[in-house]
Structure 1
């Protein structure tokens, strides 16, 4: 965060430099914005000097250099930007050591300001005791009766207030965070409680808090995932809209609600409004909590991100509370469910992708296992019911489960997935999964039983017929691994063919099948017999056609399901940032 502009009633300045490095020039600017003169290291202009003074005294942050020589801020980034701004003008905390802070009113989102009472211990007059305040411009103006201009105190008329608000709006329209400054001399030298009435408005600063270059890309990925990003900020609505446009979160069609509007809304009205609102500005902690609850009551899953104490109630209420690891307060970190080591919104998007990959993998492995087990049950139970010889002996069932359920299903469960192929949110198990399992398992089981019966009818010995049924079931389940690998994703054959773990696992399973059939010691142990190569044609035909035939079967089941034409609306995930 960097201070870019400083404005008083009738003067303005530009501030150079970037970040927290206290190197940069402060230049006086004309009305048109053209720089006209560089300041001395100790600026004498009264309003600028007062703003610099308040920036240092009404401040709890520290500006330091780390071991690598980089300038860092310990504390609030906004206050860190003010320290950097003061340092550029040659004003540092050491120059304010004669000032003693006696009282403080910490920043409060409800009032939008922070105040301190300071006394110049080197002074001798009662006028050396002041209240210094910084905060939202519109909030400060409500407590000001005068404005300082070229060192003179003027009455804060409606016209002058209009000029100040226009300046505030102009800076906000440039996506700058605006902070106003005011003060009031005190007559009591015993450092009384801060009295924020009849203040004197001095000016304002516009701070650039640009989104990270990769943030816009992360926002677009979130939208593609079906996640709705929502901005909740204490900034001016104009500032929030400008930044939201840069991030691609706002195109003009969504609503923008302020804290004042939220106060006038009932909970029911807010629940309706959140569906069409992308930005909530000038909000308090209570507003954040209401917004999170409103999303939840609309059926959304909410992940709330934040770094300050005022975010804590909403973070605790959210389904997933996310705190910033670098800038977050300890209270926020302790309340949150997750703490980001790097304060990067893209990390949240990656976490969503990773979570969906895990959910998808469990779903694929479950479908693969259930399909094979259902086929085995159908083959064995149907043969018994029909009075046929058993198509499989127990040792063959054990080998089949070892070949099909061990390596291939395990690889499906731990597959890293292709996260460039964005998919919709899925459930681990639902009606659609069960219908596919039923269709594929039934087709594979009935196909295997049919080949077994046809082989016996054509005079094939029982051991060879059992081997044909065994090979059909194993081949079908291994081929199903390919189908389940692509389930719910946009991956192509090229994607999974490059998965060496999957290809390797399937290769081991195929070799195990052939070894059990054609290596005599293994064949005797598993009560199998070699089958003629001509028999592999119907085996592979049945095994390979299961996926193709299951699609129209699932579609037919879907068409006859009650309520199929009116699917239930799925919950969307909302990230509140």
Structure 2
């Protein structure tokens, strides 16, 4: 390549432009100055007046054009990207855009640029996740459609369209069209912006990928612009919100999965903390209304807030991504963290824990107020530790889910051992105002603490 470049010096150049879909260079070839032009077949063909065939240059005919178009169609249907080549003898030293006319057609070159093996699986995951994947490309519509069908973007329920048709549409017509189109071919930067804006006006959040300078406006317009880290230009990277370091579409799907999992973990941790605190509040309110002694000492609540709350919440926050998260539809971007159904769920779970805590209190009250406070504290503390397993997922617990997060077990065992130390070790018993308990009372605490877990899991299995 270097030798050819040295032998045939490049004198001038017209860089590729997505609007005209051509690139031309002026080279010295065997003592002649030739403008070599490559680009889209249809554009080259429209600008060609001659054709070279077996060292003969003659006027191009309609039959020649039909044969070239037929060949291009066959190559494109196989998913090959086709470039056309032409030349023109030139006398000057500097090329102008107006020089790319009256060309002599040389031929076609087909290249295979197969999609990555993981692309088909990634597109399928997007469909399950309620994400509509669209291909926007400068390729020929036949080539783009063949590749889109191969990876699952284009199916019987969608269609493909060329950019020139978008130019004749107003914004209302385009908004009506975009839900049915999976492939846009031969598009310009202006078309890309209009497509992105049309989806946004329909109420969708739009992510746009791109690597070229011409993609920058659409990347800026999209809610999330995704630039390519390897092949992307600096302009596209500056315009993007996110940069893919491996230029792989499947990485976007993994990022969505991780993002959804992080959001779910935050919600689950909030559910754990608020449902537990709701239980404590409801128990205290109930005791006040019916004129009972306080069910908890201040030191009990301090122990729960500092130790029992923190460890399971941290474990829930680092829960590993689950496959089921990509079967859910996207949430509304305007949806608050705590919705009405979520708040009701927190209230019901908090009420369950409050009920078993007060049952423990009444059980201990038959012995003494101190015993009642001890049992209420122990039940509230242990039931919240057990409740941490409920809050790890919205699905019914299975053995696989139960043992998938070792940190959750570390948090539970750590909290359980600290509670056991407070209930049994004399120095801590005195500090935390703990009464002596019988074996029956310990079993009562254990049974009451597991009860909310059983109720919630049975309800989830019935609903499933």
Q: TM-score, normalised by structure 2?
A: 0.91
Larger relative helix fraction: 2
Instruction: Please name the residue that 1:480 is paired with.
Output: 387
- 1:409-458 CA-to-partner distances (Å, cap 9, x unmatched) read 111112233457644245743222211101111222233224323542xx
8 Å Cα contact 1:439/1:553 also seen in 2: no
8 Å Cα contact 1:259/1:281 also seen in 2: yes
Q: Distance in 1 between matches of 2:430 and 2:220?
A: 64
8 Å Cα contact 2:228/2:237 also seen in 1: yes
**Are residues 221 and 490 of structure 1, via their aligned partners in 2, closer, same or farther at CA, if it must alter by over 3 Å?**
farther
Shift, 1:493, TM fit: 2.9
Shift, 1:382, TM fit: 2.2
| Structure 1 segment 119-518 matched on structure 2, within 5 A | 119-120=28-29, 123=31, 128-186=32-90, 188-191=91-94, 193-194=96-97, 195-419=99-323, 422-424=326-328, 425=330, 428-456=337-365, 459-487=366-394, 492-518=398-424
SS at 1:265's partner residue? coil
Q: 1:526 aligns with which of 412, 422, 432?
A: 432
Shift, 1:99, TM fit: 3.7
Q: Distance in 2 between matches of 1:490 and 1:263?
A: 52
Shift, 1:250, TM fit: 2.1
Q: Distance in 1 between matches of 2:69 and 2:286?
A: 83
8 Å Cα contact 2:353/2:383 also seen in 1: yes
8 Å Cα contact 1:455/1:465 also seen in 2: yes
SS at 1:392's partner residue? coil
> Which runs of 5 or more residues in structure 2 are unaligned?
none
Q: Distance in 1 between matches of 2:298 and 2:324?
A: 44
> Which runs of 5 or more residues in structure 1 are unaligned?
1-91, 559-577
Q: Distance in 2 between matches of 1:182 and 1:359?
A: 55
Matched, 1:111 2:20: yes
282-291 or 491-500, which moves further after superposition? 491-500
Q: Distance in 1 between matches of 2:425 and 2:175?
A: 69
Shift, 1:192, TM fit: 5.1
| Structure 1 segment 559-570 matched on structure 2, within 5 A | none
Q: Distance in 2 between matches of 1:265 and 1:249?
A: 24
**Are residues 533 and 204 of structure 1, via their aligned partners in 2, closer, same or farther at CA, if it must alter by over 3 Å?**
same
8 Å Cα contact 2:378/2:419 also seen in 1: yes
SS at 1:513's partner residue? helix
Shift, 1:103, TM fit: 3.2
- 1:351-380 CA-to-partner distances (Å, cap 9, x unmatched) read 111111111110110000000111111111
Shift, 1:551, TM fit: 8.2
Shift, 1:521, TM fit: 1.4
Shift, 1:535, TM fit: 2.8
Shift, 1:171, TM fit: 0.6
Residues matched between the structures, number: 456
218-227 or 290-299, which moves further after superposition? 218-227
SS at 1:228's partner residue? coil
8 Å Cα contact 1:439/1:550 also seen in 2: no
Shift, 1:274, TM fit: 1.9
**Are residues 269 and 192 of structure 1, via their aligned partners in 2, closer, same or farther at CA, if it must alter by over 3 Å?**
closer
**Are residues 162 and 231 of structure 1, via their aligned partners in 2, closer, same or farther at CA, if it must alter by over 3 Å?**
same
8 Å Cα contact 1:321/1:336 also seen in 2: yes
